Amino acid sequence: MKLSNPTLASLQAIFPADAVSTDAAERAVYAYDNSRREAIPDAVVFPTTHEQVVALVGLCRDQCIPLTARGRGTNTTGASVPVSAGIVASFERMNRILRIDPDNRLAIVEPGVLNADLQAALKPQGFFWAPDPTSAPYCSIAGNIACNAGGPRAVKYGATRENVLALRAVNGRGEAFRCGKPTSKGATGYDLTRLLIGSEGTLAIITEATLRLTPLASGKRTLRATYVDITAAAAAVARIMAQPVTPCALEYLDGEALRLARNHVGESIPDAGAMLIIEVDGDPDTLATAIDAISRAASGTGLIELHAAHDADEVARLWAARKALSPALRTLAPNKINEDVVVPVSRVPELVAGLKQISTRHAIPIVTFGHAGNGNIHVNLLYRPEDPVQSANAPACLSEVFDLVFALDGALSGEHGIGLAKREFMPRAVDPVALDLMQRIKAQFDPEGILNPGKLLP
């Protein structure tokens, strides 16, 4: 739809002239995210205050205008694509770190603060915020909150949901509210803070977040374990997570992922059937004992080599290879299907074995890597639409991947969210009564359905 002149006048009354755009070129910039999906909005606005957001939502509700909140567009599921047109609210200018409070281990930030900028501000004070997705240099805190972002550190320190204390937000009725408190404990009614996290902007628009901080460890060691095949590596993951020492990162790469990493980084990446990157942090006095426990668990049938990184450069090369995988795979197969399924850690070996069978059955290469320590595996179907066999087999192949995940008591997504890409699978993934409750919660927060319509719920 095209916004009427009175509506544009109302927007211009809320925002300064340089914070409202109906220019075709600028609207195109905010039409897509990292999912490759695209839909052109009717206008883009750039809030800088909470009060502007309240007025904006009220206007959109009164006129039934779809409103999509956007961070930096790094999402891979289409969650920030304005499929119903309307208005995109980009929060890139609402990007202040309002307060860092070391005594209470918290920071208060606006929604557009970049993850990496926050980490840089926290480091001199000896703290970090736990979520560390691959897109950390350019993803926003509110975007992390919208999809419950995780990253390698989530295995020990939790994903976004475990690291947000309180929120300030505006629901679809245009009502401003606060939920949560700047305390580490609380038992006062329903936990609306955790409800909003992972809701992909469908319930409310976040204007401020109070984040839980974690002290930086004084010591850290990085191990590289290589295995003859992915089955041996998956079994090692289960053993590592079954013993008392929790690694601060436990990443998994299969043989094809390693080959691609070697092409990117060079011979420093070993030639093997699979590899684990294991990081252990803690007090230097106890680190050796922790490393020994992890090493014993990593050892076993199929281990080729267990190697401790010698210096920071070697550690950096390992992580550079891991973080380059997703873009490298997209270069290899631009239309690849990228899923981030999650299963109980003890069932990772079954997931890996089942994926191998599905790949063979449908003649579609499947490359896997990801956060094995919490069972969150990135499953990449290297699907080529120009191949008639793969084109015909891709829907059934993806469906079987999800069937396998559900059979292993897993979930559709560990950290990327649902967005547009996985909506159709929600009735298979969620108990029907629970799904009905979700839809009724949506109606309470957003009765007109203006907030990020067409996402998350079927």
CA dist list (Å): 435 to 342, 427, 439: 19, 7, 6
Q: Does domain 219-322 have CATH number 3.30.70.2190?
A: yes
User: What pLDDT does 318 receive?
Assistant: 82
Per-residue tokens: 36: 């490759």
User: What pLDDT does 454 receive?
Assistant: 96
Residue 1 confidence (pLDDT) above 90: no
Cα 73 off chain centre by? 12
Question: Which residues, in sequence order, are CB contacts of 404 under 8 Å at separation 6+?
Answer: 351, 354, 355, 358
Delimiting residues of CATH 3.30.43.10 domain(s) in the chain: 5-90
| Separation of first and last alpha carbons in the chain | 23
Q: Which of 284, 285, 265, 283 is nearest to 275 (CA)?
A: 265
Contact between residue 30 and residue 20 where contact means Cβ atoms under 8 Å apart: no
Residue listed under structure tokens 């992915």:
230
Overall average pLDDT of the 62-82 stretch: 96
Dist CA 162 CA 198 (whole Å): 12
Give per-residue pLDDT as tens, 153-212. 999 999 999 999 999 999 999 999 999 999 999 999 999 999 999 999 999 999 999 999
Residue listed under structure tokens 């070993």:
270
Mean pLDDT of the chain: 94
- Greater pLDDT, 54 or 263: 54
- Fold topology of 5-90: 3.30.43
CATH dotted code for 97-215: 3.30.465.10
Q: Letter for the amino acid at 207?
A: T
User: What pLDDT does 2 receive?
Assistant: 82
Delimiting residues of CATH 3.30.70.2190 domain(s) in the chain: 219-322
Dist CA 322 CA 268 (whole Å): 13
Overall average pLDDT of the 13-26 stretch: 97
Contact between residue 100 and residue 109 where contact means Cβ atoms under 8 Å apart: no
Going by pLDDT thresholds of 50, 70 and 90, the confidence category of residue 263 is confident
Q: Give percent above pLDDT 70 in the chain.
A: 100
CA dist list (Å): 329 to 59, 262, 365: 43, 13, 11
Report residue 307: phi and psi, to 5°. -125, 130
Give per-residue pLDDT as tens, 400-451. 999 999 999 999 999 999 999 999 999 999 999 999 999 999 999 999 999 9
Q: Which long-range contacts (CB under 8 A, 24 or more apart) does 280-285 make?
A: 280/220, 280/221, 280/223, 280/245, 280/247, 280/248, 281/156, 281/217, 281/219, 281/220, 281/221, 281/248, 282/217, 282/218, 282/219, 283/217, 283/218, 283/219, 284/218, 284/219
Contact between residue 144 and residue 138 where contact means Cβ atoms under 8 Å apart: no
At 380 the three-state DSSP class reads strand
Dmax (CA) of the chain: 71
Overall average pLDDT of the 268-280 stretch: 91
Directed axis angle between helix 348-362 and helix 230-242, to 10°?
Answer: 160
Overall average pLDDT of the 304-315 stretch: 91
Contact between residue 36 and residue 76 where contact means Cβ atoms under 8 Å apart: no
Give me the count of residues in the chain: 458
User: What pLDDT does 338 receive?
Assistant: 86
Contact between residue 10 and residue 55 where contact means Cβ atoms under 8 Å apart: no
* Beta strands 337-342; 376-381: pairing state: antiparallel
User: What pLDDT does 267 receive?
Assistant: 76
Dist CA 241 CA 280 (whole Å): 12
CATH of 326-407, one of 2.60.40.1170, 3.40.50.1820, 3.30.70.2740, 3.50.50.60: 3.30.70.2740
Question: Which residues, in sequence order, are CB contacts of 36 under 8 Å at separation 6+?
Answer: none
Delimiting residues of CATH 3.30.70.2740 domain(s) in the chain: 326-407
User: What pLDDT does 377 receive?
Assistant: 93
